[in-house]
A and B are shown apart, each in its own frame.
Chain A
Amino acid sequence: MERVPVLKIGDILLVSIQVDMSDQTAVMLQEDLAERIVATGCHGVIIDITALDIVDSFVGRMLSTIASISKVLDAETVVVGMRPAVAITLVELGLSLNSIRTALNVERGMELIAAARTDEWVMVDGDEDAETTATT
Chain B
Amino acid sequence: MPAEESYPEDLRYHRDHDWVRVDGDEAVFGITWHAQDALGEVVYFEPPAVGAQITGDGSYGSLESVKAVSDVIAPLSGTVTAVNDRVVESPELVNEDPYGDGWLVRVKLDDLGAVEGLLDAAAYRALL
- The answer to whether A and B assemble together is no
Give residues in B with beta carbon < 8 Å to A: none
Give residues in A with beta carbon < 8 Å to B: none
